[in-house]
Amino acid sequence: MPFPPIPSQIRCPKCNHPFMVEVHAVVDVGLEPELKDRFLRGELNRALCPECGTGGLLNTALVYHDPAHELLVAYVPSELQMSAEDQERTIGSLVNAVMNETPSEQRKAYFFSPKTVLTYDSLYETVLEAEGFSKELLEKQRTWLNLINDLVAAMDDEEAFNRLADENNDKMDYEFYLLLADLIDTRADGGSEGTTEGAVDSLRELRERLLSRPMAAAPGAPPEAKTAEELIDLLLVELGSPQWDHTVEDYLPQLDYAFFQALTARLEAAEAAGKESAATLGQLRQALLDALDRHTRRMREAEDEASLLIMEIMEADDMDAAVSEHEAQLDDVFFLVLGRLHQTAVSRNNTARADRLAQLLEKARDARESKLPPLLRLISRLLRSDYPEGSQRWLDEEPELVTDELLRLFDRYVADVSANVGEESRQRLENIRAQVAERVPGAAD
């Protein structure tokens, strides 16, 4: 029998408004599989004040049970300041409740040694690790969820809201808006207990306010390096920093053979002159090679995982259901590998395989774009369409969306990707932008 949530009354710490919440003391995803998704979205035991929109996690003990992964973990918040004896009693009663609902033949050894964590982050990481998710993905989604909650809480203070949005502009990418759209859809459909209409309206208002903000330069954009010598100087400043690998990835398009020729020439000149900088330049070259090796390994591993996923979906009896099941894994690497496999099949005249891959590509794109609000969905289609026929078709289909706002958002997305595409692709984006501008009064000039 499932464990029903416990109705509890709490007071908002910001406005002191009393309201009811549903508290889950036991989450058994074997009995209620739908709770797993809600837990991973950060929706369980989260309070959202219907009066002022302030939200946050509740400090309450919880036991999470996943029999498929033989996982039993108890979360006892350190904020509860329980004694060791009280902790043991609380955990014991919750674990016993789970065990009592588990048939005796299914009770395995892990029931007698449940894991205990003191922070919600540790609980989340433990569950994600059992699910096979990377910690990087976990941290990214948690950052987005926290940012959404902080932005909602700041909406009554325009200055604070704008400051928070500006500071986190680099985090609000394509996948951020996918998550926000998904939260709105899930809560609007009643998929989150205790969610009020006002809370859903707050999320919708947040999305509209973010989309209507003037385009701003990304605060995390790397400094421009016009020559190899300038890039060497920039990298020397960043050498040894905690963000070194990210810095190297920012400049990947410029780290070509000509760059390493320039770096080697500068190193050899410094060695010949007996300069102390020779040692630092040698360290820079080695650090770059090491970082590029790590990047290559990460990409290879990600591409291998994407290839396996593509094979799994291709072999599924119901491709639509398989795409839907793996929707969270349809990332940029997935589309990169899928596009590469499709091109290979076409070049080898393997028509049946090429058609099947093209079908998967279309379904995956539709699944990804279906979660986007209308403006972002149109931008996504424009960014991947052929010019001029393909882009013209999308603009003709949704003329009511072709506004100043579309143009501003299109510029923002182009700014994000233009540094990493070739001249031909950049020109295509500029041409599509001109198509949009022609339809927006006063923008063509």
Give the model confidence (pLDDT) of 25-71 as tens digits.
999 998 998 888 788 777 788 888 888 777 778 888 999 999 988 99
pLDDT at 174: 63
In the chain, the amino acid numbered 438 is E
Check whether residue 27 and residue 163 sit in a common domain. yes
Domain shared by 59 and 167, yes or no: yes
Report the domain count for the chain.
3
Evaluate if pTM is beyond 0.85.
Answer: no
Asked if residue 270 and residue 300 are part of one domain, the reply reads yes
> Is residue 102 within 8 Å of residue 110, measured between CB atoms?
no
Residue 196 has what pLDDT? 52
Q: What is the pLDDT of residue 133?
A: 63
Q: How far apart are CA 40 and CA 36, in angstroms?
A: 6
Tokens 């604070």 map to which residue?
Answer: 160
For residue range 291-317, list pLDDT tens digits in order.
Answer: 999 988 888 888 899 999 999 999 999
pLDDT digits (tens, 9 = 90+) for 418-442: 655 667 777 888 888 888 888 887 7
Q: Of 272, 293, 313, which marks where a domain is finished?
A: 313
Helix segments in 316-350, DSSP class H: 319-325, 332-347
User: Residue 90's closest CA among 75, 78, 71?
Assistant: 75
Contact 404, 440 (CB under 8 A): yes
pLDDT in tens, 176-234: 776 777 677 666 555 444 445 566 788 888 887 887 665 444 434 567 778 999 999 98
Residue 218 has what pLDDT?
40
Whether 318 maps to a domain, the answer reads no
Whether residue 339 lies inside any domain: the answer is no
**What does the pLDDT average to over 375-394?**
83
pLDDT at 116 over 70: yes
pLDDT higher than 80, residue 258: yes
> pLDDT tens across 144-184, in order?
888 888 898 888 888 888 889 888 887 787 667 767 776 77
Task: Answer yes or no: is 393 within a domain.
Answer: yes
Same-domain check for residues 176 and 233: no
State how far the alpha carbon of 66 is from the alpha carbons of 98, 116, 134, 135, 291, in Å. Answer: 11, 15, 18, 19, 38
Lowest-pLDDT choice from 226-230, 272-276, 319-323, 411-415 = 411-415
In angstroms, rounded to a whole number, what is the distance separating the alpha carbons of residues 261 and 370?
46
Do residue 187 and residue 58 come from a single domain? yes
Q: Percent helix, strand and coil across the chain, each rounded to 5?
A: 65, 10, 25
Whether residues 87 and 178 share a domain: the answer is yes
| pLDDT (0 to 100) of residue 194 | 45
Q: Where are the alpha helices (DSSP H) in 212-318?
A: 228-238, 244-250, 257-272, 277-315
